[in-house]
Amino acid sequence: MLDRTKTALVIVDVQEAFRSVIPDLSLIASRISMAARAFDALASQIIVSEQYPAGLGRTVEEILFSLGEEVPFVEKSAFSAWAEAGFRTHLEENGIKTVALCGIETHICVLQTALDLIKNGYDVHLLCDSVASRFEHDRQAALARILDAGAKSSSVEMVLFEMLGDSRDAAFKAVQSIIR
């Protein structure tokens, strides 16, 4: 079972420039926003990466509005968020052992981040309902490769209810109201 004190939601590159090229970006952003609000209700860590924001824009508003001011943003040029020291430092300093991974594009930045996390001993839960690519065949190929590398297939609700563990948890009603 996931331990919410050692699990972080990692949101990879859901930026404005992708809005016109990623099918169902609004749906993916909505799912990620829901996850972010629930992770906040669970007092769990959230990290957001942005690929070259000067050119690709900031994280989409639907997600930005769901994030607290304390959420760290990692600006990157490498495709893997792992390549940025600030990303690694945040995971280490907060005792993160497990990552719930979501974002775009599945076959590039999400894939490379997942592979690096797994290689470095992190338990990766891929939120398959919250990743996208421009083309479905790229998304499917990336899902297969990430799962073959050792990540666990998951979804927003699976992760949230696993972190809750019990309907008597103090955060249950807050999380329930977010996912409805």
Distances (CA, A) of 51 to 18, 43, 77, 123, 178: 11, 26, 6, 23, 28
CATH of the domain at 84: 3.40.50.850
Residue 170 counted as domain residue: yes
Rg of the chain over Cα atoms, rounded to whole angstroms, equals 15
pLDDT (0 to 100) of residue 147: 98
- Per-residue pLDDT band at 14 (split at 50, 70, 90): very high
Split into its structural domains, the chain has a count of 1
**CA 15 to centroid of chain Cα atoms:** 13
Residues involved in catalysis: 13, 76, 109
Residue 2 counted as domain residue: no
Residue 131 counted as domain residue: yes
**pLDDT tens column, 102-135:** 999 999 999 999 999 999 999 999 999 999 999 9
Share of the chain above pLDDT 70, in %: 100
pLDDT (0 to 100) of residue 95: 98
Residue 96 counted as domain residue: yes
Contacts of 64-69 with CB under 8 Å at 24 or more apart are 65/33, 66/33, 66/34, 66/36, 66/37, 66/40, 67/36, 67/40, 68/40
Residue 1 counted as domain residue: no
Domain extent for 14: 7-179
The residue assigned the tokens 């073959």 is 148
Residue 13 counted as domain residue: yes
Give, rounded to a whole angstrom, the gap between the first and last alpha carbons of the chain: 23
Give the residue from 87, 84, 114, 83 showing the smallest Cα distance to 101.
114
pLDDT (0 to 100) of residue 78: 97
